[in-house]
Amino acid sequence: MRKLTGSDILIRAYLVLFFFFLLAPLGVMVIATFNSSRFPTVTPWLGTTTKWFDALFNDPQMWEGLVNSLIVGVAVVLVSVPLGTAAAMVLDNLHRQARTFVYAVMVSPLLTPGVIIGISTLVFWDRLGVKGGLHLAVIGQSSFITAYIMLMVLARLQRLDRSQEEAALDLGASHPQVFRKILLPYLRSSLVAGGVLAFFQSFENYNTTLFTRGTDITLTIYIASKVRTGLTPAVNALGVILITLTIVGAVGYEIMRRREVARAAAARRQAELEEIPANALVIADAH
Amino acid sequence: MVQLYHRYGALLATLLIAATAIWVLMMVVLPYLVMAEYSFHPNLPMMQQGGPDDVYTLSNYASLFSGIDLLNGELPDDFRVFLRTIWGSTLVTFISLVVCYPVAWHLAKAAKPEQVGLLILLLIIPFWINEILRTFAWYIILAYNGPLNSALLGMGLLDKPYRWLSGSGGVLIGMTYAFILFMMFPLINAIETLDISQVEAARDLGAPEWQIHRRIVIPHAKPGIAVGSIMVFVLAASSYIVPAVLGSPGTRWFTETIYIWFFEGQDWPRGSAYAFILLGLCVVFILSVMRIFRVGLTDIAK
């Protein structure tokens, strides 16, 4: 064991400072929720209250935004999971040169800023006579969320042992049967994970929604408008709820992911398989 | 293509291609092309669109630069905003890299394995919270009567409260906070693949710590630095909510200018042109970084 040197102490102090920088703002926001001050703040402390939760629950706009966000989220899952799966299957069967080009086009929405995806969706559909609204938010968000699904499914497809498919065809199975009985079960874990990812991506999307929403509001639009104008601690109350749900959801997802990985490992004795790329969650809110 | 039909049969293969076409054409390629075409049109009332005045023009692009007077140092407002966006995003990218590097090094190589899991979790938790709410947290912290000023006054570091939210400081802090993990994870991934025996060999031969980083770790981490820089720069340049919440009219961002042309100025062609310029800025940055650091597209889209 090396003794603690000056640089060890320095790096530890730096780590403490870094994690304080990372986590303290969340603490401040949570604490400000319970301050009875009219504005969201922790200084000065004017007494402890839970009235901002009541204020939040009595705001019809919040409920409208929440319901709209849920609708959009489910719609995005229904659009992006089938499209992303189809795109991955097509890409998986393309020849080398075409494949490189099509791959570049398909991942381009992931590198395109969310505002620009929103703007191009708005302009394109406006030219076709379709105005902004929740439906356009679904289309805009699906444009890049489909790319995530495509990558997740493609990663799984590339490890598929095709002899199963061929054996089934040789034994007289029809093509749709092969798809339903072999491919779909094989892709199931990726599809479930992709669906969950797509929903949360959609739920917290702001940039693309901002331009495509028309006059409809989603929960993020509601939060942004309150943050920018209303300045009420009711937003903090919403923050506390979302932080709680997020942590519960994150832990749940992690447990699910580990279970899937463990199941696959047991089945194939290849413990290093990364069934669902953990990175997909990390790059998740790029928009 | 042939292989697709062979594997899945005519019906299924056709459906798959149709679905893929809907996504790639209707949701990715055509919207870009139509936006590009639209940006070369003049802004005309509905009645005159397609009429004799509806000719292709570069005026929407030119309007960003018109009025630049280098001799007198005068810059038009929109162009000033554009420059601020480039400079600010570059600064945020650089700050993120500097702030992340020691932490990434520690997590990838120096820390004990049992600590790493917990620290990674601590990194991810704030990341799961909505960006608007995280930005709002900084609004509370940086407010004139907020906890940061109280703390600094209490420690005697300030004589009177500082207006964090009226300059660019709040925007830069907020963006660094919002996007820092997009730098952190690529860095960790890149440093993790370094063979630690190289570092030990250098150490045994008496290399000072900073030389080890300069000659071994940083060159090895190049792909991670490239990917992290691309992510942070693009996110910062295209951020809307952070400057909207933590900035002031004097620190407007280019995305806000675009929004204003769309929904307040009702000049969609110009808004489209500006959006295209923003996209161009991001593409130029991505391509330069890919060239400088010699990384490919597949490294980035991981």
* pLDDT tens digits, A42-91: 777 888 888 888 888 888 999 999 999 999 999 999 999 999 999 999 99
Checking if the pLDDT of A247 tops 60, the result is: yes
Question: Closest-CA residue in chain A for B145?
Answer: A43
CA–CA gap between residue A41 and residue B140 (Å, rounded)? 6
Q: Are A175 and A205 in contact (CB under 8 A)?
A: no
Is A5 an 8 Å CB contact of chain B?
A: no
Residue bearing tokens 């400072």: A17
* Residues B114 and B219 occupy one common structural domain: yes
* Residues B135 and B2 occupy one common structural domain: no
- CA B62 to chain A, closest CA, distance in angstroms equals 20
- CA A229 to chain B, closest CA, distance in angstroms equals 9
Of the candidate ranges A193-207, B9-23, B35-49, B86-100, the one whose mean pLDDT is the lowest: B35-49
Type of residue found at A124: F
Model confidence over A136-178: pLDDT tens digits? 999 999 999 999 999 999 999 988 888 888 888 888 888 888 8
pLDDT at B224: 92
Checking if the pLDDT of A270 tops 60, the result is: no
Nearest to B38, CA basis, from B261, B266, B269: B269
DSSP category for residue B214: I
Q: Is residue B229 very low, low, confident or very high in pLDDT (cuts 50, 70, 90)?
A: very high
B97 located within any domain: yes
Cβ contacts of A190 within 8 Å, gap of 6 or more: A152, A153, A155, A156, A275, A276
Other residues' Cβ atoms within 10 Å of the Cβ of residue B251: 20
Comparing CB atoms, the residue among B143, B238, B302 nearest residue A279 is: B302
Question: Closest-CA residue in chain B for A102?
Answer: B24
* Mean pLDDT score, A232-248: 85
Is the bond preceding residue B126 a cis peptide, omega within 30 degrees? no
pLDDT at B172: 94
Is A158 an 8 Å CB contact of chain B?
A: no
Domain positions in chain A:
61-282
Checking if the pLDDT of B111 tops 90, the result is: no
B59 located within any domain: no
B151 located within any domain: yes
Nearest to B92, CA basis, from B228, B259, B283: B228
- CA A41 to chain B, closest CA, distance in angstroms equals 6
Comparing CB atoms, the residue among B19, B140, B231 nearest residue A32 is: B140
Cβ contacts of B221 within 8 Å, gap of 6 or more: B104, B187, B190, B191, B194
CA–CA gap between residue B234 and residue B247 (Å, rounded)? 19
- In degrees and rounded to multiples of 5, residue B243 shows phi and psi of -65, -30
* SS3 category, A48: strand
Q: Which tokens hold the place of A268?
A: 């194939």
Question: Closest-CA residue in chain A for B149?
Answer: A43
From chain A residues 164-193, the ones with a CB under 8 A of any chain B CB are 165, 174-176, 178-179
Q: Is residue B90 very low, low, confident or very high in pLDDT (cuts 50, 70, 90)?
A: very high
* Residues B82 and B19 occupy one common structural domain: no
* Residues B190 and B244 occupy one common structural domain: yes
From chain A residues 238-267, the ones with a CB under 8 A of any chain B CB are 238-239, 242-243, 246-247, 249-250
CA–CA gap between residue B79 and residue B67 (Å, rounded)? 9
Q: Is residue B230 very low, low, confident or very high in pLDDT (cuts 50, 70, 90)?
A: very high
* Mean pLDDT score, A274-281: 45
B166 located within any domain: yes
B54 located within any domain: no
* Residues B138 and B92 occupy one common structural domain: yes
B63 located within any domain: no
* Residues B206 and B114 occupy one common structural domain: yes
Is A274 an 8 Å CB contact of chain B?
A: no
Class of domain A61-282: mainly alpha
- CA A115 to chain B, closest CA, distance in angstroms equals 7
Helices and strands of chain A, counted as H and E runs: 13, 0
* Residues B7 and B91 occupy one common structural domain: no
pLDDT at A115: 93
Q: Which tokens hold the place of B264?
A: 């307040």
pTM of this structure: 0.86
Q: Are B94 and A9 in contact (CB under 8 A)?
A: no
CA–CA gap between residue A85 and residue A79 (Å, rounded)? 10
Instruction: Please count the CA atoms within 13 angstroms of the CA of A273 that sit on its side-chain side.
Output: 24
CA–CA gap between residue B61 and residue B73 (Å, rounded)? 21
Total of domains in chain B: 2
Which one of B1, B15, B119, B128 would you mutate to disrupt binding with A, by most A Cβ within 10 Å of its Cβ? B128
Q: In this structure, what CATH number is given to the domain that contains residue B82?
A: 1.10.3720.10
Q: Are A138 and A76 in contact (CB under 8 A)?
A: yes
* SS3 category, A1: coil
* Mean pLDDT score, A13-31: 91
- CA B70 to chain A, closest CA, distance in angstroms equals 30
Type of residue found at B58: L
CA–CA gap between residue B33 and residue B24 (Å, rounded)? 12
Inspect the interface and report whether the beta carbons of B123 and A22 lie closer than 8 Å.
yes
* Residues B16 and B80 occupy one common structural domain: no
Q: Which tokens hold the place of A173?
A: 């199975």
State which H helix or E strand residue B103 sits in: helix B77-105
Cβ contacts of A191 within 8 Å, gap of 6 or more: A81, A85, A153, A184
Interface ipTM above 0.90: no
Domain that holds residue B29: 1-36
* Residues B28 and B170 occupy one common structural domain: no
Residue bearing tokens 């997009």: B182
B50 located within any domain: no
pLDDT at A173: 85
* Residues B155 and B13 occupy one common structural domain: no
Beta bridge partners of B74: B69
Helices and strands of chain B, counted as H and E runs: 16, 0
